[in-house]
A and B are shown apart, each in its own frame.
Chain A
């Protein structure tokens, strides 16, 4: 049963030091090659779930499975190097060049230098950037949109099977965001990776996600495709989200 999912959570719970629940008894799963959008308000537990996947946090109870193996049985460092990660503002190292930033994980994995350089030159066009132009620049010299694209390239550098995105586009203006959405979808078609994208924007979730998970107060309200959410909302909260979203488009 566990082999058919790339990511799984079984009765996963995470408690705060004061006893309240960040996540409560979550059962969750993502298929290989699918893009799962995680949507919720702040405090809903979506970031916590992501952090439990790459062991930046440990569960209070329950289990996380990465490609069929329990996360807690794997060395956290090795695990993280197999998971791509794009944080909210890109998280590029300001004192490293673009090339150095992108090649971080290959360098940690001790790839030969030539291989690192080749990978850099191949990756950047995928996110619509010219490697010769920006290889030796510093993040401060790039625009917000360019930085975010570099961050995506960095996440893909070691060719991980799974990539995690934590509100990757929320800090960008609507025009840039639209442009990056398009690029994201192009990458999706090309790369066939399993991706988890956290967002607080319903439109973005519908646009980017194959399936959507709705979180509120540490619990999953619904997990399903766009159509399933629109046709058969599982809870009043989901209903209100859909209505709000539809009202906005019309």
Chain B
């Protein structure tokens, strides 16, 4: 079957490409910089990356936009990334799960000693600004209710609707802690994307929002930031959190990053953030400018010039980004393809074995079916402690997902394949192996292919989420677009992903028709 060989070699090539990345990354002279999935964090990470590239011979690999504190932290402890920008208060309350303290030095010392002791992770010197959570309102509403502090807010809160970020709603140093300390109770709390909250508050869709104190948009929107009069929020000094092993192996890393000690003020951060948020400038460019202003990089240092946010037509945007999109599509196919291939290699033999020894087969298949009930995002997250971040955990999760439809269909296909015909073959003197190869397998082939086709669609679709754990793929523009609230960017990932799914479905539908034996009715 020449088609089968072609597919196999294409897939092998893709697998190789996907694997060569991590293999290269694990070589000694590569540093992996990670970030959370909000803009300032990405900006800081990009500044770290460019600084390292400019002042050392190390290669930097970026795994930006990981879905939250816990994922970043786990990636760090497992070596999936080597450093990322973190805030002292977050380290204290969210990671160490200790109660907040008020003194910035105390917080820094505490996290420094604990992180070094427990995980060999080092907090470098603070960058010079504190980016705290705060609550804010439209100025006219704040005046109408005469609110200046959070205690004032408590009075009025039962009448108000709040739009908060997802992490804020869950973190101990977020909403739950606020409730406990202040007795804060809202009429309604809605979870929202960071980029949408400002607009929603401006429109009056929500009354209160959580903000970062270095958020650029605070300068643009007429909001009042409430005073934390009972000092609930701990200090959040920003700095780099680095793996001790990496610092030891490359001492220049620590020296270079310390160039940023106290280099960034809150005002400066707000300006930089504003450029990205409102003016749509590309993060690498803004990072470069920031470093350049600090005289930390030379004039001729290469930087990306593509502006992310432009009010151009969708098609011209896609055309401009075509190189990146091709790479993303290739990554996406590699992830989905590898996951599917592994699924086929495990599921089909397994189904054969189960069909042969029927006892407990149904139970086993149902057990495998349980994997389908796990939400995809959760499954991806489960893989991180085992496999780090990047392509590997994504492929593992996709592998698990692809098993059930293939096992189920292969099992049923074999079991139900024309039993009278099978019996006749036996009666005429065919061995069980001959019957399997010449009768049961060809008759079951269409059903088996249908299972593979289903699994293929699922893996292509689920692979979009792989972006959240740094695996690349067409989910990356979707995630970026969500953060910037830019429909063009979102579509530049979503549209190819959909088209890809349709192509894969069509292609496998053609294969399904190919493997259908001649002489069988189409409905069989």
Write the residues of chain A forming the contact surface with B, with a CB cutoff of 8 angstroms. Answer: 54, 56, 77-81, 85, 87-89, 91-97, 104-105, 108, 138-140, 154
Residue of B nearest to A137 (CB): B519
Does B418 interact with chain A (Cβ within 8 Å)?
Answer: yes
A selection of 7 A-B contacts at a CB cut-off of 8 Å is: A56-B426, A80-B427, A95-B443, A104-B428, A105-B429, A108-B428, A138-B519
In the complex, which residues of chain A have a beta carbon less than 8 angstroms from the beta carbon of B304?
none
> How many Å lie between the Cα of A54 and that of B427 in the bound state?
7
For residue A142, give the distance in angstroms from its CB to the closest CB of chain B: 11
In the complex, which residues of chain A have a beta carbon less than 8 angstroms from the beta carbon of B421?
91-94
Q: Is the CB of A94 within 8 A of B519?
A: yes
Q: Is the CB of B443 within 8 A of A81?
A: no
Contacts A94-B418, A94-B421, A95-B442 known; A85 to B519 CB distance under 8 Å? no
Q: Which of A56, A87, A93, A97 has the most CB of B within 10 A?
A: A93
Interface size class of B (residues with CB under 8 A): 20 to 34
> How many Å lie between the Cα of A89 and that of B419 in the bound state?
12
> How many Å lie between the Cα of A139 and that of B439 in the bound state?
15
Q: Is the CB of B519 within 8 A of A91?
A: no
In the complex, which residues of chain A have a beta carbon less than 8 angstroms from the beta carbon of B521?
140
In the complex, which residues of chain B have a beta carbon less than 8 angstroms from the beta carbon of A139?
519
Q: Which of A88, A92, A108 has the most CB of B within 10 A?
A: A108
- B:130-167 near A, CB below 8 Å: none
Q: Is the CB of B429 within 8 A of A77?
A: yes
Q: Is the CB of B520 within 8 A of A80?
A: no
> How many Å lie between the Cα of A91 and that of B426 in the bound state?
11
> How many Å lie between the Cα of A118 and that of B426 in the bound state?
25
> How many Å lie between the Cα of A94 and that of B425 in the bound state?
12
Contact with A along B413-428 (1 / 0, CB 8 A): 0000010110111111
Write the residues of chain B forming the contact surface with A, with a CB cutoff of 8 angstroms. Answer: 418, 420-421, 423-431, 434, 439, 442-443, 517-521, 524
**Cβ-Cβ contact count across A and B, 8 Å cutoff:** 64
Q: Is the CB of A95 within 8 A of B517?
A: yes
Q: Is the CB of B423 within 8 A of A140?
A: no
Contacts A91-B421, A94-B519, A138-B519 known; A78 to B429 CB distance under 8 Å? yes
Residue of A nearest to B521 (CB): A140
Quick one: which of A81, A94, A96, A138 contacts B428, CB cutoff 8 A? A81
Q: Is the CB of A87 within 8 A of B520?
A: no
In the complex, which residues of chain B have a beta carbon less than 8 angstroms from the beta carbon of A78?
429
> How many Å lie between the Cα of A140 and that of B520 in the bound state?
7
For residue A88, give the distance in angstroms from its CB to the closest CB of chain B: 8
Q: Is the CB of B429 within 8 A of A95?
A: no
Quick one: which of B431, B442, B518 contacts A138, CB cutoff 8 A? B518
> How many Å lie between the Cα of A51 and that of B519 in the bound state?
29
Contacts A87-B420, A91-B424 known; A96 to B519 CB distance under 8 Å? yes
Quick one: which of B426, B429, B431, B439 contacts A93, CB cutoff 8 A? B439
Residue of B nearest to A79 (CB): B429
Q: Is the CB of B429 within 8 A of A87?
A: no
Quick one: which of A56, A108, A138 contacts B423, CB cutoff 8 A? A56
In the complex, which residues of chain A have a beta carbon less than 8 angstroms from the beta carbon of B429?
77-81, 105, 108
- Please name the 4 residue pairs, one residue from A and one from B, whose CB atoms are nearest each other, closest first: A91-B424, A138-B519, A95-B517, A81-B429
> How many Å lie between the Cα of A138 and that of B439 in the bound state?
15
For residue B388, give the distance in angstroms from its CB to the closest CB of chain A: 47
Q: Is the CB of A91 within 8 A of B423?
A: yes
Residue of A nearest to B445 (CB): A95
Q: Is the CB of A93 within 8 A of B425?
A: yes
> How many Å lie between the Cα of A81 and that of B524 in the bound state?
30
Contacts A87-B420, A87-B423, A89-B420 known; A95 to B520 CB distance under 8 Å? yes
In the complex, which residues of chain A have a beta carbon less than 8 angstroms from the beta carbon of B518?
95, 138
For residue A199, give the distance in angstroms from its CB to the closest CB of chain B: 18
In the complex, which residues of chain B have a beta carbon less than 8 angstroms from the beta carbon of A97?
519
Given contacts A91-B421, A93-B421, A95-B519, 14 further A-B contacts (CB under 8 A): A54-B427, A56-B423, A80-B426, A80-B429, A81-B428, A87-B424, A91-B423, A91-B424, A93-B439, A94-B421, A94-B524, A95-B442, A105-B428, A108-B430
